[in-house]
Structure 1
Amino acid sequence: MTETLRLDRPRDGIMVVTLNRPGRANAMTAQMFEELEHLARSVHHDEALRVVVLTGAGTAFCAGYDLDDAAELPSLGAVGMLKLQELGARALAAVRGIRVPVIAAVNGAAAGGGLALSLAADIRLAAPTAKFNAAFVRIGLSAGDLGTSWLLPRLIGPAAAAEIVYTGRIVEAPEAERLGLVNRVVLAEELLDAALAMADAICANSPAGVEMSKKSLQANMEITSYAAALELENRGQALLTRTADMREALTAFTERRPPTFTGR
């Protein structure tokens, strides 16, 4: 049972996770961090799960850390603040580490920690009303927060990332698409349907193949050696050739029929 998240299963293999504090623009709290981390860990052994779609209730995606709670941060002390910071970092790392693809359907403002949460997804779709803001410097904090300083430059390049985080300016949806911050912009009323259609396209493929592809993409962002990347890819491919899904995919391809995957 979650209080800050709403969980739905619109169809087989797909879970929609909605940040559910619309009265506070889905701003983050310690409880939301705990619930996100617990959810991300709990779905690890859900063999039926193929894709997670992450979105926000109401008109915002996530406005970052709740400023009502932020007013108390200076009184926590160094150790207390570090524990809260580590709680948030664990939550977003757990979301990024979900073994299946995560699609962020960014329906409105994604500021500060909300930007970081969208970056933790594998794919981002945005409504025209989506706005991205590395708001940290505007409240006296650093953009080195919740993975933003690592993920954002890798997504849009270091120069564009530097401008956005140093100025704290708002990036509107069309610019976000040009920069590669989002995969594409779709009409607001079609956003969730577009995310589900993409999820369906992912679900049409081998579960093990998609999962291993995600592992490879993420792991190879963290190494600097082409040789090491090849070694990781070689191991993944060798493992996949031992699965029933690979044999089924090849048979279905030669027979020109849709494959039936078991996830094994």
Structure 2
Amino acid sequence: MTTRRQLETIRLDRPEPGIVVATLDRADRMNAMTNTMFAELDWLAHTLDREDDLRVLIITGAGKAFCAGYDLADADRLTELSALGMLDQQELAARALAAIRGMRVPVIAAVNGAAAGGGLALALAADIRIGAPAARFNAAFVRIGLSAGDLGSSWLLTRLIGPAQAAEFAYTARIMEAPEAERLGLLNSVVPAESLLDAAIDLAEEICANSPGGIQLSKRALQANMEIGSFAAALELENRGQALLTRGADMPEALTAFKQKRRPHFTGR
């Protein structure tokens, strides 16, 4: 295990082989983000990505909230920064969320409560979102004189729920409750609060049962093809991924297991 750094804002657990649960651990501040948390998210993403046996990362929040966004206790200093100083601040936060989204393995957000501002962006950075009934989302940037174009939210939200729904949500700064989030596709599912983490782990175990290389290249294809502008380019990317995977050990093992009527033993090699 390579994660030996003492983290101040995140708690790590390993409920099953290949599965890591990262709990944002500032419950007294609704898990609001600080520069320390941004640095720790960035470090965590890059460190876990170097673990060969990692299969899925689950992110959730301690207490009643998922993440309330940037800690308003630190907000006053933002107006004191120069334009370049504020750009540095934004890039620190953006690097952290880009690192989470860019992990080679699937990321599941178990949204236990409010996900606002940067917390919304963190949930959007995950591949899959499961919510408790108390999950709710808010992009209230326009209420404090800022833009909803923050930390990738404008790009990801539009692709998840469509441009018109994203625009209405961003311009009104209203709260989106769990049932609506599920209906629009922001949440994959809503489960009872007491079952949320178990449901996320169950889903992670389903993912872990499959070929690690297949999952990783599937994630790469799904993400890249949200940005590629042509069907031909998407086919090219997919063709390369399939060709690479036939050179590994997992595909022959899967075929052999199918013929022998047993479960395959995947190694990711």
Per the normalisation by structure 1, the TM-score is 0.99
SS in structure 1 of the partner of residue 57 of structure 2? strand
Q: In the TM superposition, what is the alpha-carbon distance from 1:91 to its structure 2 partner?
A: 0.3
Within the candidate set 138, 141, 148, 1:143 is matched to: 148
Deviation string for 1:98-135 (max 9, x for gaps)?
A: 11000000000000110000000000000000010011
Shift of 1:254: 2.1
Structure 1 stretches (4+) deviating beyond 4 angstroms?
Answer: none
Structure 1 SS opposite 2:54: coil
Q: How does 1:61-80 map to 2 (within 5 A)?
A: 61-80=66-85
Equivalent residue number for residue 109 of structure 1: 114
Task: Write out per-residue CA displacement over residues 77-103 of structure 1, whole angstroms, 9 at most, x where no aligned residue.
Answer: 111111010000000000000110000
Equivalent of residue 256 in structure 1, options 248, 256, 261: 261
Is 2:105 aligned against 1:100?
A: yes
Counterparts of 2:21 and 2:218, CA distance in 1: 22
Alignment partner, residue 25 of structure 1: 30
Give the C-alpha shift of residue 138 in structure 1: 1.4
Aligned to 2:3: none
Equivalenced residues, count = 264
Partners of 1:65 and 1:229 lie apart in 2 by 36
- Residue aligning to 1:86: 91
**Following the alignment from structure 1 to structure 2, what is the Cα–Cα distance between the partners of residues 188 and 256?**
38
Q: What residue ranges of structure 2 are gaps of 5+ in the alignment?
A: 1-5
Q: Which deviations, in whole Å up to 9, do the C-alpha atoms of 1:223-261 show, x marking residues without a partner?
A: 110000000000000000111101111111222211101
Q: For 1:182-239, what per-residue CA distance to the aligned partner results, in whole angstroms no more than 9, with x for missing partners?
A: 0000000000000000000000000000000000000101111000000000000000
2: CA distance, partners of 1:255 / 1:165? 54
Provide structure 1 residue ranges, at least 5 long, that are not aligned to the other structure: none
* TM-score using structure 2 length: 0.97
**1:162 corresponding residue in structure 2:** 167
One-letter amino acid of the structure 2 residue matched with residue 64 of structure 1: G
- The 5 Å alignment of 1:1-264 reads 1-264=6-269
Q: Secondary structure at the match of 1:72?
A: helix
Amino acid at match of 1:173: A
Question: What SS does the aligned partner of 1:45 have?
Answer: coil
SS, match of residue 49 in structure 2: helix
Aligned to 2:104, what secondary structure does the other structure show? coil
Shift of 1:7: 0.7
State the alpha-carbon separation in 2 of the partners of residues 179 and 115 from structure 1. Answer: 15
